[in-house]
C-alpha cells in the first residue's frame, strides 16, 4: 500500500488499520495450513488463536462504536483463547468479519467526531484515544502473527518472502522508493 500524505487523522487511522490487516494477511498467506494452528510452546498462542482473539476484540470494540461500551456484555474474552477455527477458510472468514466491524465503524467518522466520548470497560475515551488504543493493540498482535508465520514457515520450508526491506537490500530499496518503484510502507 503506497503511503499517501494526509492531514486527516480519521483517514490516516483507516489507512494504518488497512496496512496492519494486509501485513498479517501477507504473513498468513505464506503459512501452511498446519502452521496456522501450531504453537511454539505451551504458553504461546497459535496464529489461529491470535486471529480469534482479534476478531472477538473487533466485534466488541467496534460494534455500535459510538453508542455502547467497547466491552460488550456478550463477549467472553477467555473463550477467544480456546478452540480455534479448524480450517484456513474458517479462520479467514472470522478475520474478515472482525475487520468489517472496524471499517464499518471508522469509515463514516470525520475528524469532527474525534473529540466525542466513547467508553471501554466503563472508562471514557475520546474517539481518537479509542482508535489509538486499538491501533496499538492490533499492531501488537499483527507483530506476533508475522513473527510466528516467519518462524514456522522458514523452519518448515527454509523460505520466507520478506514483508518489508529484505536484509542487505536497504540501499536498493531506498533507491527504488526515490524512483517511485516502491512504497515506504
Structural contact between residues 63 and 101, judged by C-beta atoms closer than 8 angstroms: yes
In this structure, what is the dihedral angle of CA atoms 155, 93, 77, 119, given to the nearest 10 degrees?
A: 120
Structural contact between residues 143 and 149, judged by C-beta atoms closer than 8 angstroms: no
pTM more than 0.75? yes
Instruction: Report pLDDT digits (tens) over 124-175.
Output: 999 999 999 999 999 999 999 999 999 999 998 989 998 987 788 777 777 7
Structural contact between residues 138 and 54, judged by C-beta atoms closer than 8 angstroms: yes
| Domain 9-178 CATH (choose: 1.20.120.450, 1.20.1440.230, 1.10.1040.50, 3.40.50.1220) | 1.20.120.450
Cell of 22: 494486509
DSSP 166: P
Residue 2 is predicted with a pLDDT of: 63
| Whether the predicted pLDDT of 184 surpasses 60 | no
Ramachandran assignment for 73, one of left (phi > 0), alpha (psi -120 to 50 degrees), beta (any other): alpha
How confident is the prediction for the chain on average, in pLDDT?
Answer: 93
CA–CA dist 141, 123 (Å, integer): 23
CA distance to 57, 63, 99, per residue, from 28 (Å): 19, 25, 15
Phi and psi angles of residue 118, each rounded to the nearest 5 degrees, phi first: -125, 165
Structural contact between residues 10 and 110, judged by C-beta atoms closer than 8 angstroms: yes
Amino acid at each position: 500500500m503506497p503511503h499517501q500524505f494526509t492531514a486527516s487523522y480519521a483517514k490516516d487511522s483507516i489507512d494504518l488499520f488497512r496496512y496492519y490487516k494486509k501485513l498479517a494477511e501477507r504473513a498468513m498467506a505464506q503459512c501452511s495450513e498446519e502452521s496456522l494452528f501450531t504453537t511454539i510452546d505451551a504458553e504461546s498462542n497459535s496464529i489461529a488463536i491470535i486471529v480469534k482473539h482479534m476478531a472477538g476484540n473487533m466485534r466488541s470494540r467496534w460494534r455500535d462504536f459510538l453508542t455502547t461500551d467497547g466491552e460488550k456484555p456478550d463477549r467472553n474474552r477467555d473463550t477467544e483463547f480456546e478452540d480455534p477455527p479448524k480450517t484456513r477458510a474458517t479462520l479467514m472468514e472470522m478475520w474478515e468479519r472482525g475487520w468489517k466491524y472496524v471499517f464499518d465503524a471508522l469509515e463514516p467518522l470525520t475528524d469532527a467526531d474525534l473529540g466525542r466520548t466513547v467508553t471501554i470497560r466503563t472508562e471514557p475515551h475520546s474517539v481518537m484515544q479509542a482508535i489509538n488504543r486499538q491501533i496499538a493493540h492490533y499492531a501488537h498482535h499483527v507483530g506476533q502473527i508475522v513473527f510466528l508465520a516467519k518462524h514456522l514457515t522458514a523452519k518448515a520450508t527454509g523460505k520466507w518472502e520478506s514483508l518489508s526491506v529484505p536484509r542487505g537490500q536497504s540501499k536498493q530499496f531506498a533507491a527504488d522508493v526515490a524512483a517511485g518503484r516502491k512504497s515506504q510502507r
